[in-house]
A and B are shown apart, each in its own frame.
Chain A
């Protein structure tokens, strides 16, 4: 039972345009969400997070939106740059105070076309 789902295995976007990566979850106990970025042969690196008390969090070119009623979050990257080409993982935690156990989605491979 996949509690965190990323239904798009891959996404291609032109450089300079907006990239939108989506994530759905089924567990109502999740209240803290994170996005990680992963390059080949490297470990995931933390990108941005959002707590369930918010519906939007922004950090430079990256914005995460949370729709609790739909159990859906999305990551917007604008403008997209070639260095953004990577696999993006959505992750969720049931605890606002700590994220002792993260549940990860299966990832979306983003390719930025120059």
Chain B
């Protein structure tokens, strides 16, 4: 059971390059999320998608775009990478329609911007 799969696991970019982080879940969840984790900051929500075809900004959306390609896939794009976007990025998904369901996380993408 794969759960939430993120690709790639590691990536190094130069400032100004673009990059798309991929996320797919096989749990038939409606909601999907993108977070970033920085030292001493916990996890901060970048964007989320409550259902296929909808996306909403989270706490730190600037510099990012997202696409909910279908129910399974939710991608995060950096159009012009900046060193401040060096972080570990986590994708998560959650079942809707049931109260108090937790979010399930992937293992993260470690992104370094030089």
- Residues 29-73 of A, flagged 1 when their CB comes within 8 A of B and 0 if not, give 000101010000111111001010000000000000000000000
The answer to whether B104 and A46 have CB atoms under 8 Å apart is: yes
Known contacts: A104-B43, A105-B42. The answer to whether A46 contacts B102 by CB under 8 A is yes
New A-B contacts (8) at CB < 8 Å, excluding given A4-B42, A43-B90, A44-B43: A43-B92, A44-B105, A100-B31, A101-B45, A102-B45, A102-B103, A106-B40, A106-B41
Among A10-18, A78-86, A91-99, which stretch is in contact with chain B? A91-99
The answer to whether A99 and B102 have CB atoms under 8 Å apart is: yes
8 A Cβ contacts from B29-65 to A? 31, 35, 40-45, 48, 50, 58
Q: Which A residues fall within an 8 A CB radius of B? A: 4, 32, 34, 36, 41-46, 49, 51, 89, 91, 96-102, 104-107
Residue of chain B at shortest CB distance from A42? B107
Chain A residues, CB < 8 A from B100: 32, 49, 51, 96-99
**Smallest beta-carbon distance A44→chain B, Å:** 5
Counting contact residues on chain B (CB < 8 A from A), the size range is 20 to 34
- Residues 88-114 of B, flagged 1 when their CB comes within 8 A of A and 0 if not, give 001010101001111111111000000
Known contacts: A34-B102, A44-B105. The answer to whether A100 contacts B42 by CB under 8 A is no
Chain B residues, CB < 8 A from A41: 107-108
Cα–Cα, bound, A81→B4 (Å): 27
Could you list some 7 contacts between A and B, CB below 8 A? A36-B105, A44-B43, A51-B100, A91-B43, A97-B99, A98-B31, A104-B35
Cα–Cα, bound, A24→B37 (Å): 20
Chain A residues, CB < 8 A from B94: 98-99
Chain B CB within 10 Å, residue with most, of A32, A101, A102, A105: A102
The answer to whether A100 and B107 have CB atoms under 8 Å apart is: no
Cα–Cα, bound, A89→B35 (Å): 14
Chain A residues, CB < 8 A from B103: 46, 99, 102
**Smallest beta-carbon distance B59→chain A, Å:** 8
Chain B residues, CB < 8 A from A97: 99-100
Chain B residues, CB < 8 A from A4: 42
Cα–Cα, bound, A91→B44 (Å): 11
